[in-house]
Chain A
Amino acid sequence: DVKVTQSSRYLVKRTGEKVFLECVQDMDHENMFWYRQDPGLGLRLIYFSYDVKMKEKGDIPEGYSVSREKKERFSLILESASTNQTSMYLCASSLGGGAGRGYTEAFFGQGTRLTVV
Chain B
Amino acid sequence: DQQVKQNSPSLSVQEGRISILNCDYTNSMFDYFLWYKKYPAEGPTFLISISSIKDKNEDGRFTVFLNKSAKHLSLHIVPSQPGDSAVYFCAATKNTGGFKTIFGAGTRLFVKA
Contact = CB atoms under 8 A, between A and B. Distances in A.
Interface of A: 4, 30-31, 33, 35, 40-45, 48-51, 54, 56, 58-59, 90, 92, 94, 96-97, 102-103, 105-111
Nearest to B44: A108
Contacts of A51: 98
B27 interface: no
Interface stretch (B66-74, B75-83, B103-111): B103-111
By DSSP majority rule, is chain A's interface helix, strand, loop, or mixed? strand
Contact of B97 (A40, A41, A56, A94): A56
B102 interface: yes
Interface residues on B, range: 20 to 34
Interface of B: 6, 9, 31-32, 34, 41-46, 49, 51, 89, 91, 93, 95-106
Given A4-B43, A42-B6, A43-B103, A105 B98 contact: no
A105 B34 contact: yes
B57 to A, nearest CB: 13
